[in-house]
C-alpha cells in the first residue's frame, strides 16, 4: 500500500528516510489501524472523530485485514495500491493458530469486501511485490504499510529483551517471540542500501523507529500468512 502526497518525489538513492510519525496501537489487535493513522497523519489528513466514524462503515471487528486498510485509504481519498497474492481469504489460514479463532466469522466478511472492491473503487491487484519495488516506491517519497510475521522480524536497534515491546503478560516488547505465525502491520519510511538495512515503524512501540536487515524483513514479509 502506498500513500502519495503532493510535492516533488525524491530521486532514487542509497538512503531514504521519510518523515512518518509513530503512533502506538491501543490494543493487541489494532496494529493495522495504528499504521493507517501514521499514513494519514503523514499526509495531514488525520482527524480523530472522522477516523472513528470511518471504522463504523465496514463494521470492523478485532480481525483487521489488509483489505480493511485499503477501504480506509479509499474513504480518506488517499491514492494507494493494494497488492496481494490471493484475491480472497486463503482457506489454508484456518489451520494456523493465529487465524483459527476468528477465521469462520471473518471469512465471509472479508470475501465480501474483496467482491465489492471494484464497485467501491478500491484498487486491488493480485501480484507479487519485490524488495526492489518497495525501495523504488520509498525513493519516490511514498511510505508503505506491510504485513509481516513478527515472530521472524527483529529490530537491530538496542540489544537484549529491553529493545522489544509487545502486549504480553511479562511486559511490552517489540514483538512477542513465538514459533507460531504472528501477523503484524508495519509502516516503512525508508532504507539504507549502504548498510543493507530497512527502517520500519512498529505500532507496538512509540519511542523509536526500528531497523532491521533487508534480508530479515524480506523473510518476515514473505512467510505464509502474510
- Cα–Cα distance between 58 and 213 in angstroms, integer? 36
Which percentage of the chain shows pLDDT scores above 90? 23
Within 10 angstroms of residue 153's Cβ, the number of other Cβ atoms is 22
Within 10 angstroms of residue 137's Cβ, the number of other Cβ atoms is 19
DSSP annotation of 193 reads T
Confidence band for 35, pLDDT divided at 50, 70 and 90: very high
Within 10 angstroms of residue 214's Cβ, the number of other Cβ atoms is 17
* Residue 66 pLDDT: 82
Q: Which residues pair with 171 in a beta bridge?
A: 168
Classify burial at 101, counting beta carbons within 10 Å of its beta carbon; exposed 0-12, middle 13-18, buried 19 or more: exposed
Provide the whole-model pTM: 0.79
Identify the CA nearest to 21 among candidates 221, 147, 207.
207
Mean per-residue pLDDT, 1-22: 65
Looking at per-residue pLDDT, the higher value among 4 and 210 belongs to 210
* Residue 59 pLDDT: 58
List, in order, residues 6 or more apart from 108 with CB less than 8 Å away: none
Q: Residue for cell digits 478485532?
A: 62
> 156 is written with which cell numbers?
537491530
Mean per-residue pLDDT, 50-57: 71
Confidence band for 18, pLDDT divided at 50, 70 and 90: very high
DSSP labels, 49-100? HHHHHHHHTTT--S---HHHHHHHHHHTT----EEES-SS--GGGGGSHHHH
Confidence band for 167, pLDDT divided at 50, 70 and 90: very low
What is the rounded radius of gyration, in angstroms, for the C-alpha atoms of the chain? Answer: 17
Confidence band for 49, pLDDT divided at 50, 70 and 90: confident
Confidence band for 112, pLDDT divided at 50, 70 and 90: confident
Looking at per-residue pLDDT, the higher value among 189 and 90 belongs to 189
Query: CATH top-level class for 24-222?
Result: alpha beta
Looking at per-residue pLDDT, the higher value among 7 and 56 belongs to 56
Contact status, residue 81 vs residue 123, Cβ threshold 8 Å: yes
Does the structure show a pLDDT above 90 at 201? yes
List, in order, residues 6 or more apart from 160 with CB less than 8 Å away: none
* Residue 60 pLDDT: 59
Mean per-residue pLDDT, 34-53: 82
- Cα–Cα distance between 11 and 15 in angstroms, integer? 10
Mean per-residue pLDDT, 71-76: 87
Looking at per-residue pLDDT, the higher value among 65 and 19 belongs to 19
Mean per-residue pLDDT, 12-38: 86
Amino acid at each position: 500500500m502506498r500513500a502519495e502526497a503532493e510535492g516533488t518525489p525524491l530521486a532514487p538513492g542509497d538512503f531514504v528516510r521519510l518523515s512518518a510519525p509513530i503512533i502506538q496501537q491501543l490494543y493487541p489487535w489494532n496494529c493495522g489501524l495504528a499504521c493507517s493513522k501514521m499514513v494519514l497523519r503523514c499526509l495531514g489528513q488525520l482527524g480523530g472523530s472522522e477516523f472513528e466514524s470511518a471504522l463504523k462503515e465496514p463494521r470492523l471487528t478485532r480481525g483487521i485485514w489488509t483489505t480493511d486498510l485499503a477501504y480506509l485509504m479509499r474513504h480518506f481519498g488517499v491514492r494507494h495500491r493494494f497488492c496481494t497474492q490471493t484475491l480472497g481469504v486463503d482457506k489454508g489460514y484456518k489451520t494456523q493458530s493465529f487465524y483459527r479463532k476468528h477465521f469462520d466469522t471473518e471469512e465471509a466478511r472479508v470475501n465480501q469486501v474483496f467482491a465489492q472492491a471494484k464497485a467501491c473503487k478500491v484498487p486491488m491487484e493480485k501480484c507479487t511485490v519485490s524488495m526492489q519495488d518497495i525501495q523504488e516506491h520509498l525513493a519516490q517519497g511514498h511510505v508503505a504499510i506491510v504485513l509481516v510475521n513478527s515472530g521472524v522480524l527483529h529490530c537491530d536497534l538496542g540489544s537484549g529483551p529491553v529493545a522489544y515491546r509487545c502486549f504480553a503478560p511479562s511486559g511490552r516488547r517489540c514483538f512477542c517471540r513465538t514459533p507460531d505465525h504472528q501477523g503484524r502491520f508495519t509502516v516503512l519510511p525508508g532504507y539504507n542500501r549502504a548498510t543493507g538495512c530497512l527502517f520500519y515503524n512498529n505500532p507496538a512501540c512509540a519511542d523509536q523507529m526500528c531497523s532491521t536487515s533487508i534480508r530479515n524483513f524480506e523473510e518476515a514479509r514473505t512467510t505464509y500468512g502474510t
